[in-house]
Amino acid sequence: MKKGAANHEYSFFGNVERYFDKAAAHTQYPKGLLDQIKACNSVYQMRFPIKIGDRVEVIEAYRVQHSQHKVPCKGGIRYSLGVNQDEVMALASLMTYKCAIVDVPFGGAKGGIKIDPKKYTEDQLERITRRYTVELMKKGFIGPGIDVPAPDYGTGEREMSWILDTYVAFNPGQVEAYGCVTGKPVSQGGVRGRKEATGRGVFFGIRELCNVPEDMKALGLTIGIEGKRVVVQGLGNVGYHSALFFWEAGATIVGLAEIDCALYNAKGLDLNDVMKYKAEHGSLLTYPNAKVFKNAGACLEFDCDILVPAALENVITGENAPRVKAKIIAEGANGPVTPDAEEILLKKGCYIIPDMYLNAGGVTVSYFEWLKNLSHVRFGRMDKRFTENSNLKFVSTIERITGQKITDGEREGLTHGPDEVDLVNSGLEETMISAFHDIRRVLKGSKKIKDHRTAAFVVSINKVAGAYMSLGIWP
Ligand code: GLU
């Protein structure tokens, strides 16, 4: 792995292994146990034929289950020409560590189909997705208690609904069948708040960091999100929603990047205006209210406080890391910073908030969706009215005792019982805040651990090792 090498020269799985080994050195577990945690347990590579027009195309696809220390396994499915076995193995292993960090009781998995989804009609994509689901079923790689896919790069609610429909058709009467996949549309057993969840989690994680006076002092930044200069690379589901939550909280979005260009405006970009322009023109290359860079990667070097790479892996490398100006690198994507780049950035005093923690909001809310599917009841259904009535009684009693009347708006705010989306967002907020402090405690509690990623890996390794230890085969 050469320093400054082009992206394709990196083994993504090798990078994750390097990060793991660095953290494992701070634990006391026997080598055999660490080897078992690190290994990908099951790798399924498949090929299947799909009729595209008047020809047949052989599709290459994968599903990797990294760990079954807890079941089901969990992780998204990616549609991209960049999909290969190494990438899916890396992403599956990150899922194990991600679930452990946020106490989601699943093992890690990931899937991928090597296609450019933009090159296919909706009908062709549906056939590819349904056939992939059947291939997973044939080998026992999908099921609510076995392995539960979700959206990832290039997939969304539509693909998840095709997976669900195929699985349900082949498993009639299976009462928990809707838990076979998450990220579904709400009308098909999805949970409110899932689509925004990863971006919302990225925001919660960074907000928590920005609220720690000691950390902000160390970085030479003010406390809080307001006024922070933020750059977001990628305007897909994760990038767009991260940008939206930062923007709504009063941050200045100085830079945004798409696949073909990057925008910069030191005074701040209007996110609604950018998205409207993109929808109307199909591209941001001619966007008038910013300086436009034809090289999208330029955004990684923009002057800012917080840089959120929210697209693909290996974008910050040993080559461009010396030119990164951000003080906080918030990994919305999986694996955007290579180990070579990390070394350079840490030396510069940057904080890198690692993917395995920061983008875990998606899988956290997937867990909530799975729980909803198994329980067959919408969150809040049983207690919303009860909570409202109790709150109303409380408010009326205070009014009677004090002789003061509150406004209708205040009454609404004080008595409101939680809807599903309130509970999901609050569960996500709690998860992101407590996991942040779990990582920070390890970081602050050790003189030898110097960075957030290593601390996060130590937290994960401890949890996964705990599950394996209970098997009783390690001394
Ligand atoms: N693909 C997302 C991730 O990388 C979500 C996975 C899930 O919800 O299972 O975290």
Give the model confidence (pLDDT) of 39-56 as tens digits: 999 999 999 999 999 999
110 is catalytic: yes
State which of 64, 357, 363 you would mutate to test the pocket of ligand 1, scoring each by most atoms of that ligand within 8 A of its C-beta.
363
Distance, CA of 154 to CA of 148 (rounded, Å):
17
Tell me what pLDDT residue 212 has: 98
Residue 323 lies in a domain: yes
Q: What angle do CA 95, 327, 345 make, to 5 degrees?
A: 65
Is the shortest distance between the CB of 359 and ligand 1 below 6 Å? Answer: yes
Task: Indicate if 180 and 205 belong to the same structural domain.
Answer: no
pLDDT reading at 5 higher than 70: no
pLDDT reading at 8 higher than 90: no
* Band of residue 328 on the pLDDT scale cut at 50, 70, 90: very high
Q: Which token pair is 359?
A: 């983008």
CATH code of residue 324: 3.40.50.720
Task: Indicate if 183 and 244 belong to the same structural domain.
Answer: no
Query: β-strand 291-293 against 306-309: which pairing, if any?
Result: unpaired
**Ligand 1 atom with the shortest distance to the CA of 367:** 8
The alpha-helical segments, DSSP class H, found in 139-221 are 157-170, 194-210, 213-219
Number of domains in the chain: 2
Scanning the structure block, which residue is given the tokens 């009783």? Answer: 472
CA 1 / ligand 1 centre spacing (Å): 27
Residue 475 lies in a domain: no
Tell me which of 171, 188, 205 is where a domain ends: 188
What average pLDDT score do residues 208-219 get? 98
Task: Indicate if 204 and 257 belong to the same structural domain.
Answer: yes
CA 332 / ligand 1 centre spacing (Å): 12
Residue 368 lies in a domain: no
Residue 385 lies in a domain: no
| Structural domain harbouring 134 | 42-188
* Band of residue 278 on the pLDDT scale cut at 50, 70, 90: very high
**Ligand 1 atom with the shortest distance to the CA of 334:** 4
Residue 372 lies in a domain: no
What average pLDDT score do residues 181-210 get? 98
- Residue in 38, 110, 384, 463 annotated catalytic: 110
- The enclosing H or E element of 264 equals strand 262-264
Each residue's pLDDT tens digit, 407-425? 999 999 999 999 999 999 9
Tell me which of 305, 330, 358 is where a domain ends: 358
Tell me which of 358, 384, 405 is where a domain ends: 358
CATH code of residue 160: 3.40.50.10860
What average pLDDT score do residues 341-358 get? 98
Tell me what pLDDT residue 473 has: 74
Note every long-range contact of 385-388, with CB atoms under 8 Å and residues 24 or more positions apart, other chains counting: 385/417, 386/417, 387/417, 387/418, 388/415, 388/416, 388/417
* Band of residue 266 on the pLDDT scale cut at 50, 70, 90: very high
What average pLDDT score do residues 180-184 get? 98
Task: Indicate if 89 and 214 belong to the same structural domain.
Answer: no
Tell me what pLDDT residue 471 has: 75
pLDDT reading at 193 higher than 70: yes
Mean pLDDT of the chain: 96
Task: Indicate if 232 and 348 belong to the same structural domain.
Answer: yes
CA 438 / ligand 1 centre spacing (Å): 21
Task: Indicate if 174 and 51 belong to the same structural domain.
Answer: yes
Is the shortest distance between the CB of 366 and ligand 1 below 6 Å? Answer: yes
What average pLDDT score do residues 443-451 get? 97
Amino acid letter, residue 277: Y
Is the shortest distance between the CB of 362 and ligand 1 below 6 Å? Answer: yes
Residue 263 lies in a domain: yes
Interacting residues of 178 by C-beta distance below 8 A, sequence separation 6+: 144, 164, 168, 184, 188, 189, 373
Q: Residues 369, 194: contact at Cβ < 8 Å?
A: yes
Task: Indicate if 129 and 277 belong to the same structural domain.
Answer: no
Task: Indicate if 126 and 203 belong to the same structural domain.
Answer: no
Task: Indicate if 126 and 212 belong to the same structural domain.
Answer: no
Strand locations in 66-159 (E): 73-79, 107-113, 147-151
Residue 228 lies in a domain: yes
What average pLDDT score do residues 387-409 get? 96
Each residue's pLDDT tens digit, 91-136? 999 999 999 999 999 999 999 999 999 999 999 999 999 999 999 9
* Band of residue 474 on the pLDDT scale cut at 50, 70, 90: confident
Tell me what pLDDT residue 470 has: 81
pLDDT reading at 2 higher than 90: no
Task: Indicate if 71 and 117 belong to the same structural domain.
Answer: yes
Percentage of residues of the chain with pLDDT beyond 90: 96
Residue 12 lies in a domain: no
Interacting residues of 194 by C-beta distance below 8 A, sequence separation 6+: 182, 183, 362, 365, 366, 368, 369, 424
What average pLDDT score do residues 280-294 get? 97
Task: Indicate if 117 and 250 belong to the same structural domain.
Answer: no
Task: Indicate if 57 and 201 belong to the same structural domain.
Answer: no
